[in-house]
Homo-oligomer: A and B are copies of this chain.
């Protein structure tokens, strides 16, 4: 599988008008090499991948070398005894590469100065973009298996939480319960900081858990994701504890129906815009369009947000094998919010929902 990924990158070199490429973005590097080493930042990096038409190598420092040798698939691992950019430049010269692409969305001016300094006059670094990302958007069997395992962990956490939940539990305590459940059962950290919001806090799409008790009858949403083999899951459930108001029921159901419309729309050939519009139009028909303040969804994989984008202006075309969130949400300031999120896999003629936790309006 590693070899196939390298070949897919190699096939894109001529399109990008380069004869070699430097991949430094952490998720792209991991996808090509299977090496899990993670970076603090573009400046403290776990290595650069060098891909030419007939070679692929990960150049890394002694700190990551042992792990890289153990994990790498489809690429050579080259130890940078001194500095990564110098060893990388040696590979460029050995391969007689003259045009070396680098990723404009991740490469910093410092990286560029280091590389050009080491290359001297040998080769010209050239900006490239979206070279690996479109490949990553379509998941192979191994990737789907990892995501399904991550989904099982987040589903399990929600189910266990619903068994335990009491109105006096605070957002922060709930968040910790959910994280501890996933982490102690094999999740590598969390896919993103656990989101728990109650009452007026739930009107803030990215609210951070605080000391508010969940309470009875307040709009609550929980947004969590686990991580397995580097791959994320992502799920949101919205509910109240006790009896929901008629207004809550109405908005909850409208958002659920909007999601259903989007799920019915998703299929190969549809654009991100088409899917977003299906949900948004439904909410607009019910006078709620203005409250849907974010996009419908995003691809999920080694990154919690990746391609395809499902939003108002997204021309991304869905393809079999993509995995994306579908998460319409409405937020009424000073009242609260509701978001329903499933993770789905695009199939031959529609989509399969991976998330399993039932949607219930009250607990």
Contacts and interface: CB of A to CB of B under 8 A. Distances in A.
Interface of A: 40-44, 62-63, 66, 102, 104-110, 112-113, 127, 129, 176, 180, 183-184, 189, 193, 204-206, 293, 305
Contacts of A41: 106
Contacts of A113: 104
A105 B108 contact: yes
Given A176-B183, A176-B184, A204-B66, A43 B105 contact: yes
Contacts of A205: 63
A305 B105 contact: no
8 shortest interchain CB distances as A-B pairs: A104-B109, A105-B110, A104-B110, A43-B105, A109-B127, A108-B108, A107-B109, A105-B108
A225 B63 CA distance: 20
- In this complex, the member of A108, A112, A129 whose beta carbon has the largest number of chain B beta carbons within 10 angstroms is A108
Contacts of A305: 40, 44
A127 B111 CA distance: 13
Judged by DSSP, the binding face of A is loop
State how many copies of this chain the complex holds: 2
Contacts of A44: 305
A109 B42 CA distance: 12
B107 A108 contact: yes
B106 A106 contact: no
Contacts of A293: 62
Contacts of A110: 104-105, 129
Contacts of A189: 193
Contacts of A129: 110
Contact of A104 (B102, B108, B176): B108
Nearest to A26: B41
A108 B106 CA distance: 6
A185 B127 CA distance: 46
Contacts of A183: 176
A189 B42 CA distance: 22
Given A63-B206, A206-B63, A42 B176 contact: no
A67 to B, nearest CB: 8
A106 B206 contact: no
Given A42-B42, A63-B206, 12 more contacts: A41-B106, A42-B105, A63-B205, A104-B110, A104-B113, A106-B108, A107-B108, A109-B109, A109-B112, A109-B127, A110-B129, A180-B180
A40 B183 CA distance: 21
Nearest to A192: B40
Contacts of A42: 42, 105-106, 108
Nearest to A102: B109
A115 to B, nearest CB: 12
A140 to B, nearest CB: 24
A106 B40 CA distance: 12
B106 A43 contact: yes
A38 to B, nearest CB: 9
A293 B61 CA distance: 13
A293 B127 CA distance: 36
29 contacts: A40-B305, A41-B106, A42-B42, A42-B105, A42-B106, A42-B108, A43-B105, A43-B106, A44-B305, A62-B293, A63-B205, A63-B206, A102-B109, A104-B108, A104-B109, A104-B113, A105-B109, A105-B110, A106-B108, A107-B108, A107-B109, A108-B108, A109-B109, A109-B112, A109-B127, A110-B129, A176-B184, A180-B180, A189-B193
